[in-house]
Homo-oligomer: A and B are copies of this chain.
């Protein structure tokens, strides 16, 4: 394996549906500007409550991507 270097960014995705979709939304958004994304790590899961119900799941990820050689 070559001595690649990776950068991690921290992104919060949201969804009214669930935690998995919040993760997917975060990654979909990040993919618009970042190439070579390889992995994610969940670092926080929280959300908004409205009228006594979950209004929005908010999942914060670290996303790791390879820096160009």
Contacts and interface: CB of A to CB of B under 8 A. Distances in A.
Interface of A is mostly: strand
Q: Which of A38, A46, A63: most chain B CB closer than 10 A? A: A46
A57 B11 contact: no
Contact of A5 (B12, B42, B47): B12
Nearest to A4: B14
B20 A18 contact: yes
Given A19-B20, A39-B49, A46-B40, A10 B11 contact: no
Contacts of A41: 44-46
Interface of A: 1, 3-16, 18-20, 22-31, 37-42, 44-49, 52-57, 60, 62-64, 67
